[in-house]
Amino acid sequence: MSVAGLVLAGGRGSRLGADKAMAELGGLSLAQRSAGRLRPQVAALAISANGDPRRFGPGSPPVLADVVPGFRGPLAGILSGLIWATAQGPCRWMATVAVDTPFFPADLVARLLAAAAPHPELIAVARSRGRLHPVFALWPLGCLPALDAALRREDGGKVMAFIDGQGYVPVDFDDEASGIDPFFNINTPEDLAEARKLLNRPAP
């Protein structure tokens, strides 16, 4: 069962003070690191981002701008991704990850897919330490019309509200052997410094 993949890189990075996708970690931008981590897990890969796509450099996956006007957050990127994913041959789902979360599980998609397969109409959502991570999810392509309609409503931009309305299955990720929170995300310069320490920490 083929899955398309989308790196959500459309955030403004206001707390980081820079384009978050371009922030450097271990010699790679966060966009390169997230794309490289997701690429082996999916059949096709794209990046959701607005602005000049050339900043991602040659050899980048396709860069998808929001198809709805105004800055509507992750759901706008997910909508653009679903439109793109429907053209990717036999794909039935699209997996999303956030560009600012560089340690997400290397088996993320496989585990989301295993949970989603018995419930193909539901969105599979990652959960760790009792907390849901709604942008780390597996989206059935069939939810595209509902998402398009939601984003055309004034109040339709909340990721978890949409997921609640569609129905979801939580998928637990509490067994990371490295000891690093796989959903540690980078919002501030201090978070980026901490990520660099985690990246260089010896393996247990």
Please report the pLDDT score of residue 171 as a whole number. 97
Read off the pLDDT band of 13 (50, 70, 90). Answer: low
Neighbours of 19 (CB within 10 A): 18
Element (DSSP H or E) covering residue 47: strand 44-48
Least confident among 7-16, 64-73, 152-161: 7-16
Q: What is the pLDDT of residues 27-49, one digit of tens each?
A: 999 999 999 999 999 999 999 99
Lowest mean pLDDT among 15-24, 58-67, 115-124: 15-24
Distance CA 161, CA 132 (A): 12
Burial level of 92, CB count in 10 A (0-12/13-18/19+)?
Answer: middle
pTM of the model: 0.93
Confirm if 159 and 72 have CB atoms less than 8 A apart: no
For the residues 194-202, what does the mean pLDDT come to? 86
> Which listed CATH number (3.40.50.300, 2.60.40.10, 3.40.50.10700, 3.90.550.10) goes with 3-199?
3.90.550.10
Q: How do residues 74-117 score in pLDDT, each as one tens digit?
A: 999 999 999 999 999 888 999 999 999 999 999 999 999 999 99
What is the average pLDDT score of the chain? 90
